[in-house]
Amino acid sequence: MFHAGDIIAYLDMCKFEGVSLQRGMNFHLHNGLSVVLMSLRKGAPYEDRVEDNWQTLIYEGHDIPKDKSGLNPKQTDQPLTTGNGKPTQNGLFYNAAIKYKAGAPAEKVRVYEKIKNGIWAYTGLFNLVDAWIEQNTRKVIKFKLKLIEEESTLISSKANSNIEHTRVIPTSIKLDVWKRDKGMCTLCGSKDNLHFDHIIPFSKGGSSITLNNIQLLCARHNIAKKDRIE
Ligand SMILES: [Zn+2]
């Protein structure tokens, strides 16, 4: 099981999900969860964005595939159905969001974020709570996802009664930490099973948005540290 902030190589992510994650959107896989991949980097293909201090994610639906019909995917409506009327991944997520608004349980979605080529971070588990279509020069589908807080997060945020406090580390901080720590555990130099670690733990009020409070640790040192603190 991954925890928010874990850094994952692309192949390990596919192995964990039991599917080759070629697509950014993967509705309801065998484990009963959906998976979306997002990128908040400059020049990313889709306009994914976060709101409410990472409690909310606005995820953009996907374009038609490049290889079809010679149409420019960025100038063509994002499809809810394929040519033969079957729902696309857009359609599957869209229908689930509409059902949720009519009272069905929310589809749970694991979100991974691209840090750099081949390197992904697990952002967390979200509920799919809304979907709508925006029409400008073309139709673009938007999905609203709400972070499901881990139990410890809920307790600590209540204790601090501070809604600005979030466990999720913003992308810009992740990138700066990755660069500063050169993609290695700060204690042993290992490049495997890395995790973005809160130096002062989140549960003790440590900030997610301060560069100086985040470091890279390997799994071994991350666990050793947890044992010391808890
Ligand atoms: Zn280490």
Q: Hey, what domains does the chain have and what are their CATH numbers? A: 7-151 (2.30.280.10), 171-225 (1.10.30.50)
pLDDT of residue 159: 42
Which band of pLDDT confidence, cut at 50, 70 and 90, is reported for residue 153?
A: very low
CA–centroid distance, 217 to ligand 1, in Å, is 5
pLDDT of residue 193: 87
Which band of pLDDT confidence, cut at 50, 70 and 90, is reported for residue 79?
A: very high
Query: 3-state DSSP call for residue 68?
Result: coil
Name the residue type at position 118: G
CA 45 remoteness from chain centre: 15
Cα 197–Cα 199–Cα 204 angle in degrees, nearest 5: 105
CA–centroid distance, 15 to ligand 1, in Å, is 23
pLDDT of residue 230: 59
Which band of pLDDT confidence, cut at 50, 70 and 90, is reported for residue 229?
A: low
> What's the rounded mean pLDDT across residues 91-120?
94
If one counts every other C-beta atom within 10 angstroms of the C-beta of residue 54, the result is 19
Write down the H helix ranges in the chain: 10-17, 89-101, 151-160, 171-180, 219-229
CA–centroid distance, 161 to ligand 1, in Å, is 33
* 42 contacts 32 by C-beta, under 8 angstroms: no
**Pick from 1, 6, 222: which is nearest to 113 by CA?**
6
> What's the rounded mean pLDDT across residues 198-209?
87
**Pick from 65, 174, 46, 163: which is nearest to 116 by CA?**
174
Of 52-56, 183-187, 195-199, give the lowest mean pLDDT range: 52-56
pLDDT of residue 115: 85
Q: What is the C-alpha separation between 230 and 228, in angstroms, rounded?
A: 6
**Pick from 49, 68, 66, 67: which is nearest to 57 by CA?**
49
Kindly provide the residue ranges of all beta strands, DSSP E only, lying in 22-176, ordered along the sequence: 25-26, 34-38, 49-51, 56-60, 107-116, 119-135, 139-147
* 34 contacts 107 by C-beta, under 8 angstroms: yes
User: Which residue did the predictor score with more confidence, 168 or 121?
Assistant: 121
CA–centroid distance, 224 to ligand 1, in Å, is 9
* 114 contacts 103 by C-beta, under 8 angstroms: no
CA–centroid distance, 192 to ligand 1, in Å, is 9
pLDDT of residue 158: 43
If one counts every other C-beta atom within 10 angstroms of the C-beta of residue 34, the result is 22
CA–centroid distance, 36 to ligand 1, in Å, is 29
Q: Is the pLDDT of residue 156 over 70?
A: no
Q: Is the pLDDT of residue 53 over 90?
A: no
Q: Is the pLDDT of residue 144 over 90?
A: yes
User: Which residue did the predictor score with more confidence, 152 or 177?
Assistant: 177
Share the mean pLDDT of the chain: 87
pLDDT of residue 109: 96
User: Which residue did the predictor score with more confidence, 15 or 105?
Assistant: 105
Which residues have CB less than 5 Å away from ligand 1 (the ion)?
Answer: 185, 187-188, 190, 218, 221
The helix or strand, by DSSP H or E, that contains position 196, with its residue range, turns out to be strand 194-198
Q: Is the pLDDT of residue 138 over 80?
A: yes
